[in-house]
């Protein structure tokens, strides 16, 4: 199930559509934090290999800064 996490780095995003970004979520003493993977292009597999979640960026969100609260959807690659 989706869960909240704090964004470690800012992201670029235009308003008006739902976007999903590959990310790596990890637990810290302050709670879960997430960073986007490098190499998001559809032809770049290294980003997919490193990812353990999808970061949901809703239509109304524009350029979320570091520290923003986002929802992450964990990926179960071995399921």
Res. 47: pLDDT tops 90: no
pLDDT, residue 1, reads 85
- The model's pTM is 0.85
Mean pLDDT estimate for the chain: 88
Q: Please write down the long-range contacts of 43-50, taking CB distance under 8 Å and 24 or more positions apart.
A: 47/22, 48/22, 50/22, 50/24
């Amino acid at each position: 199930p989706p869960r909240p996490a704090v964004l470690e780095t800012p992201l670029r995003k235009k308003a008006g559509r739902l976007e999903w970004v590959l990310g790596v979520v990890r637990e810290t003493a302050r709670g879960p934090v997430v960073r986007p993977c490098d190499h998001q292009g559809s032809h770049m597999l290294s980003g997919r290999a490193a990812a353990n979640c999808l970061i949901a960026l809703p239509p109304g969100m524009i350029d979320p800064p570091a520290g923003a609260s986002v929802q992450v959807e964990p990926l179960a690659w071995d399921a």
